[in-house]
Amino acid sequence: MTTLTSVCPSTGEVLRTFEAHSDATVERILARAWKCAGYWREQAIGLRAALVRRVATELRRQRDPLARLVVREMGKPIAQARAEIEKCAWVCDYYAEQGPKFLAPESISTEANRSYIRFDPLGVILAIMPWNFPFWQVFRFAAGAVVAGNTVVLKHAANVSMCALEIQALWRRAGAQAGLFQVLLLENERVGRLIGDPRVAAVTLTGSERAGQAVAALAGQYVKKCVLELGGADAFIVLADADLERAATKAAEARTINSGQSCIAAKRILVEKAVAREFLSAFVRAMAALEVGDPFDEHTRVGPLARADLVSTLQRQVEESLRLGAKLELGGKPLDRPGFFYPPTILTRVRPGMPAFDEEVFGPVAPVTVVRDAEHAVQLANASRYGLGAAIWTRNRKGAEALAARLDVGVVHINDVVHSDPRLPFGGVKRSGYGRELGTYGIKEFTNIKSVVLR
C-alpha cells in the first residue's frame, strides 16, 4: 500500500507516515458523503449556517495548537500560521452571517404570475487542495459550500495529511455529521476515478497549472462543474509618483509572505525608470532586514520552504536567469543548514524569456524589471500566461483605477499588497484558472441556479 509522508521543513525529519486509503475505504467515504448530501440539502439554511459558526468558534478555541501544527508540517512562521487560523474563522463567520441572504430566492419580473431564481446545492463536492495554506485554502471553499447545502470530500496535499485530518476532526467537534466533511488520503494518480464517480457533483482545485489542466480535462470528460485557482505571476507595479519607502517595504512583505510560497505573492516587481535606483536601494534594505530562521520564533519572517524539491526548483530558476543576463543583488543560494531554507533574494535586469519572469517563482526570490512608464508596465504585466492578481503603487488614484481596468487579472490592489478577503470574489483569468471563491459569487459557484416560473 502506498504511504503519504509528512516531513518537518525546518529539520527534514519525518513526522508521520500514513497509509493511503484502500478502495474499500474510499467507497465507504463516498457512500457516507452521498447519503449525508441528501439529508443536508433538506436542512434549513439557518441550521447549516449555525454549524459553520460553531466551526469558527472551534477554530478560535484551538487557534494556537492548530497554528503549531501548521508550522511543524509545512514550515509557515508562527505569527502567519495564527493569522491563517483566524482568517479561517473569519470566513466561517462571514458565510454564517451572510450566506442566508446571498442564497435567498431572487424575484424577477416577467409576464408570469411569479418568477424567481433559487440556489440549490449540487451535492458532493470534491476539493483538491494544496499545502501552502493548508487550512485557509480548505475553508475558503468549504465554509460557503457547506452553508449552501453541499457535503465535502477533501483530497489534501500528501505532505499536509496531519493538517487534513485535524480539519476533519474539527468539523466533527463542531457537530457535523460523519458524512458532511471527510478526508481522503490518496495519491494523485487515483483522483481521476473520484472525478468520474457519479456521486461527485463538482470539483474545486487550488494548485499548479499542470494539476489544473489534468482536473479540468477530467471534469470536462464527465461534464462536471469545476472551479480552478491555479498559479500566478503577480505584477507589483511601482510608478514614479509612488511613496517609494512604503512601496519597497510592502514589496518585501508581498514577496516573502509564507516564505514566498503564495499564489498571490508579488512575483514580478515592475518599477518605473525614473525612480528605479531609489526604489531598489530601499527594497534591498527591506529584504535584507527580514529575519530568516526557526518558524516557531516569533521574530522570524521567512521560514523554510515546504519541501526539498522546491529549493532545487528555485535555485534552477535563479541560476538560469543569471545565465541569461539577470543580475544578483541579494541572496541567491540555499542556506547551509538543516531543513529547506532559501534566503530573501533579489534579481535585477530581469526580462521576458527568463524563468524569473516567465515562470511562477515559488519562494522568496524577487525579480525586478525596469519599465519606461505606466504604459510599458501594463504591457509587461499582461505579458504572462497567468492572470491572478496585481498591485499598483501610485499617488494618482484616478490613473491607477484606469490602469486596473486594463490589467488581465482577477484582482487588483492599489497601494496595498494583493490578498484575499471573504467579502470579495477571488480568482483569476488565463492560466490562473476560472471560477470564483469568496463573496456572493463564491458561495453560488456550487449551487444549481434554478429558474422557477408560475403561470
C-alpha cell at position 401: 483605477
- 164-167: Cβ within 8 A, 24+ apart: 164/134, 164/138, 166/66, 166/69, 167/135, 167/138, 167/139
Separation of alpha carbons 224 and 198, rounded Å: 10
Which is the catalytic residue, given 8, 92, 263, 437?
A: 263
Cα–Cα distance for residue pair 137/152, rounded to 1 Å: 13
C-alpha to C-alpha distance for 412 and 431, rounded to whole angstroms:
17
The vertex-228 CA angle with 225 and 230, nearest 5°, equals 170
Whether 263 sits among the annotated catalytic residues: the reply is yes
Q: What is the rounded distance in angstroms from the CA atom of residue 159 to the CA atom of residue 423? A: 30
Evaluate whether 235 touches 393 at the Cβ level (below 8 Å): no
Q: Quick one: how many helices (H) and strands (E) in the chain? A: 15, 20
What is the CA angle 369-370-376, rounded to 5?
A: 100
Output Rg (C-alpha) for the chain, integer angstroms.
Answer: 22
Cα 345–chain centre separation: 23
Q: Which of 58, 84, 209, 229 is catalytic?
A: 229
Asked if 236 and 260 count as a contact pair (C-beta separation under 8 A), the reply is no
320 catalytic residue (yes or no) = no
Q: Grid coordinates representing 134? A: 493548508
Q: What is the DSSP letter of 90?
A: H
> What are the cell numbers at 367?
525579480
Supply the residues annotated as catalytic: 229, 263
